[in-house]
Structure 1
Amino acid sequence: MTTDMSLTAEEVIRIYGKRWGIEVFFKVCKSFLRLEKDCRSLSYDAMTAHVSIVFTRYMFLALEQRECKDARSLGKLFYLSVDELPDVCFVEAMRLLLLLFVERLQEKPMLDEGEIQGQLKGFLKELPVLLSQKLRKCA
């Protein structure tokens, strides 16, 4: 139900769907986490602290439930949250890291260009063969 008659039925359902999670959150906090019953203080600071502790307990329980029952991982949620960032292939990312490595070595006044290239070649030699071959093309 709504008092805004200009909304379509789909919009009302969408808005109510967003509110449903909030309703469940407060119901759990009141019923199971004793939001209303544990704090008997009249101090604003004490009540604020109590509400913060109850909400923190809810977050811990929600995280535990997600890790135990939800097939999605936090990594997947991370990747979903950064979809707007451009994709950078692995070799390009490594090339950028190598450039940063060389720049940092150039900041050292004791190293000349030959020593820097030697450090870079030594670094590339220690990497796995396939990765080292691809990075040699970049460097």
Structure 2
Amino acid sequence: MLQKPKAVLRMVESALAAGIHADYILMDSWFTTEPFVKSLSDLGQDVIGMVKDMKQRYYYNGHLYTLPQLAKIAMDRSKNKLYRSLMVRTRKHYLSVRIVFVRNRNKKGELLYILSTDNALSEDEIIRIYGMRWNIETFFKASKSLLKLGREFQTRSYDSAVAHTAIVFARYTFLEWLRRQENDPKTYGGLFFALCEDVQDMELSDALRSLMSLFMETINGYGTEDTETIKSKVSNWIASQSRYIKGLFPNLCWES
């Protein structure tokens, strides 16, 4: 029964009350409006979101400008860069925000506008963090197109809708876990096997002979009376072992 921004605000408040913390709330242009950004800022949440040019105006150096006018000011400073930013204030609530103007690499006349309420972030960081939204878009695309979110059955019960959504998201989580295990080279399992490809396997017998050879060379280098005791103990230990171990050292010689 609520408008979408109000419903989303209640969901954010519920998440905060449950102890769920987020460094930034990422939003598309539908939600990145001044009233909604102000509501989230009042909750202590920073926002990074795409802004759509709706002829809204922002204060810059004491004057009001539209987004295209601000973009012209920013881009004229460095025509060779694909992105620039300006610190501005919103018109109604006078919020201090940074707007990053990103030029379309293929169509220089097209620009994207990304707003951040965290003024300490650099342009690169704002673009990098907002880029994480692509994972959200692919998640919703897979949930709706492949896992039939909202189309698997019809219901008028809110609880049923929530249960169905939870089931779909659980499916996605399992499928993503399997994908990471089988295909993603960044997982620990894949990385481990990739690094072990260059390690040559060694037989147990070769490893024991190599270890004993190193031990004998070390003992022979001492040249003290104590080494005789050590040699005697090792010889007795080998004699007490199985035929397999004895067979590895049939002619044990302590001479260097």
Question: Higher relative CO (CA 8 A, sep ≥ 6), structure 1 or 2?
Answer: 1
TM-score by length of 2: 0.27
**TM-score, with normalisation over the residues of structure 1?**
0.47
Instruction: Give the strand-richer structure, 1 or 2.
Output: 2
- The answer to which structure has the higher helix fraction is 1
